[in-house]
Structure 1
Amino acid sequence: MARDQIKVPFGYEPPAETHKGTVLLFETFEDWTETEVHAFTRWAEERKFVRAIFYPQHEETLRRMDIPCQQPYYARVKHLESLLEQVDTTLQLDLDKWEGKRKKYTPIDTSLKFLTDKTPTPHFVCMSDRYANLFVTYPSFKEWIKKVRLVIINQFHVPLHGKLNEYAERWEVVDFGNGS
């Protein structure tokens, strides 16, 4: 096989990649407004992400995780779609409806595997403080925290689980202005 040779000037270095990675947002999105969506996209643009995936979870998954949710999955998806249509951003915003197709409980491990396999690295998982406190108690958390960085939304203002201190360099807390 012949290789193409490329001529470059002496001392040439390829330009640094300015945009990278994917942020996966796990949330109910039940009480999200334009304010939170705009704050999130502004934060993601500042961090120079290529793509943001909004991942609403099915009510059966939320019930098993003891996360209260009044609206059904499809109502939350419809609400989120209308919010995303109003956002003007350079970021690629996607709404993943895989859990709606499954129509049953989906472990967070399965969801993370599904999403990370089909999106460019590095991966950042963004979830509320309530979600993060649950996620840290799962046995697979140790494996996932090595593969992804965790971004915790200070939404419910609950104290964070002490186990997170072991991985202090792998997570950060942000505030998108949720008044919940």
Structure 2
Amino acid sequence: MARDQIKVPFGYEPPAQARKGTILLFETFEDWTEADIDALVSWANERKFARAIFYPQHEETLRRMGIPCEEPYYARVKHLESMLKQTLPTALEPDVDAWEGKRKKYTPLDTSLNFLTDKYPGPYFIAMSDRYVNLFVTYPSFKEWIKKARLFVFNRFGVPLQEKLHEYSERWEVVEFTNGS
């Protein structure tokens, strides 16, 4: 198959990308409101991320992690997709990844992160609530992932963060939304 040749003037440099990176959002998204989603999308847009991947986790995964969840997976995904359709259009590409729903069983966080980083372009940023981060820090692979991706912590539940997280203080930050969530 022949390649198309493109002619450009001497010294041409393509314009730098204004937006880059993929933020991976891990949460139940059970008690999230439209205001929470709007605040999150506007925050990600201000940070100039290229895309935001919302990754609700299956109830079996949440049960094994010790995170309470009353709504079934598919109801949470449907509700999240409907809220994302109602957000204002931005340069950010929000998307819901429902891969864990196809598995219908416990999916370790490492497996999910490997799948998402293989599927979407980098650089990578991980966003989790404070209760997720406290669990993530206890996993043996945390040291590898904190070097590969920057971490954002949403202070939703007021849970104190583990001391081990403070060893990597230059690789994470706490995010507060303006609407108080």
Give TM-score, length-normalised by structure 1: 0.91
Separation (CA, whole Å) in 1 of partners of 2:64 and 2:94: 28
1:16: how far off?
Answer: 2.6
1:99 aligns with 2:92: no
1:173 aligns to what SS in structure 2? strand
Three-state SS of the structure 1 residue aligned to 2:138 is coil
Displaced runs of 4 or more, over 4 A: 4-10, 177-180
Q: Counterparts of 1:27-176 in structure 2 under 5 Å?
A: 27-90=27-90, 91-176=92-177
Q: Which segments of 5 or more consecutive residues in structure 2 lack a partner in the other structure?
A: none
- What is the Cα deviation at residue 176 of structure 1? 2.8
How big is each residue's C-alpha offset from its partner over 1:41-85, in whole Å with a ceiling of 9 and x where there is no partner?
111111111111100000000000000111111111111111111
Deviation string, structure 1 residues 103-122 (Cα, Å, up to 9, x no partner): 00000000000000111111
Q: Please tell me whether the aligned partners of residues 39 and 179 of structure 2 are also in contact (alpha carbons under 8 angstroms).
A: no
Gaps of 5+ in 1: none
Residue by residue over 1:28-47, the C-alpha shift from the partner in whole angstroms, topping out at 9 and shown as x without a partner, is 00000011100011111111
Q: Distance in 2 between matches of 1:176 and 1:71?
A: 25
Distance, in Å, in 1 between the alignment partners of 2:127 and 2:158 is 15
* TM-score (structure 2 length as normaliser): 0.91
How far apart, CA to CA, are the structure 1 residues paired with 2:78 and 2:8? 52
| DSSP 3-state at the match of 2:31 | coil
The AA in structure 2 aligned to 1:168 is S
Pairwise CA distance, 1:9: 5.9
Query: How far off is 1:8 after superposition?
Result: 4.6
8 Å contact from structure 1 (residues 35, 177) kept in 2: no
Report deviation, 1:161: 0.8
**1:41–1:89 Cα contact (<8 Å) kept:** no
- On the 8 A contact 1:24/1:54 being kept in 2, the answer is yes
> Percent sequence identity over matched residues?
70
